[in-house]
Amino acid sequence: MCPRCGDLEYISHILFHCPFATEVWDLGPWEYKLDTSPQTSFFDKLQYSMTQAPLPPFGFTGNALPWICWTLWTLRNQLMFENRHQSAIEVFTRALGALKEWESAQPIKQNPNPKSLPITRDTVGYPLEIICNTDASWKGGTRSAGLAWIFTDFASEELYRGSSAQNFVSSPCMAEALAIREALLQGASLNYRHICIKSDSQVLVLKYSFIRSLLSDDHRNSSGFSPISTTLAFSSSSSFLSCRYTFIPRSLNGPADGLAKSCLPAHLISSPPIVT
């Protein structure tokens, strides 16, 4: 029997017919929801998914259906053998994060026309928006992290940079989230009103997009979300008039990466964490 709903379990039930699977598919990422009913075959579902373009702000170009199916399957196994429970949002976020990670690892195709090279800067921004590159350096043995953020204007002129270090950080993903939180706090203190956070953590950028869409004006305390989710939801109740998140490849985030790594050694010397 299905460990989630108690009905008879078979492959199509795990991937499409279980209410939990249906909830995952209802999240997107296409304009129209996937038909998960038994009346359509797996081939019909796959063929439909191949004709649908992903909606923004998901930030990928491939077909998400195989990745969502694979994630539903593997996380079902984790539920069975490790008793690890995940929400529909966590399943969907992990699937799209894996897809984007795979796409970013593919070789870059050379553009035969040098006059039409892709522009790396966001074209949806506007002159009043402040760009903030963030990054973190995490040391697992001591659970310490170096956090960094660099603010630039629309013309790429640096306005401000800052860094800090913190102990008792549970994971690299949490370190990235803390760097974003510090950047938001710094940006608010500098009275920035429009901000664009750039992070090389695809998981966080994607996760924030879902949280942003789920948090209404009456539920901005983000109760029920993980600490990372709560950190990213800060901008929903801050003084920013607009706040958006975009992914930046690690190769283009060098200054913030170097700043994060440089502040960590000095912190470990001056304030070594107590490891138990």
Specify the pLDDT at position 45.
86
The vertex-131 CA angle with 130 and 135, nearest 5°, equals 140
Q: Distance of CA 208 to CAs 62, 91, 203, 230, 266, Å?
A: 21, 14, 9, 10, 31
The domain segmentation of the chain, as residue ranges, is 11-104, 130-270
Residue-wise pLDDT for 181-204, tens only, equals 999 999 989 999 888 999 998 878
pLDDT of 149 strictly over 90 = yes
Average pLDDT, the chain: 79
Q: Distance of CA 223 to CAs 110, 127, 211, 214, 237, Å?
A: 46, 35, 11, 12, 13
Output the CATH code of domain 130-270: 3.30.420.10
Residue-wise pLDDT for 97-109, tens only, equals 888 888 877 775 5
Q: How buried is residue 208: exposed, middle or buried, by Cβ count under 10 Å (0-12/13-18/19+)? A: buried
Highest mean pLDDT out of 144-153, 214-223, 231-240: 144-153
Specify the pLDDT at position 151.
96
The vertex-234 CA angle with 90 and 273, nearest 5°, equals 85
pLDDT band at 13 (very low <50, low <70, confident <90, very high): very high
Specify the pLDDT at position 225.
44
Residue-wise pLDDT for 15-73, tens only, equals 999 999 999 988 878 777 888 888 888 888 888 888 877 766 566 778 889 999 999 99
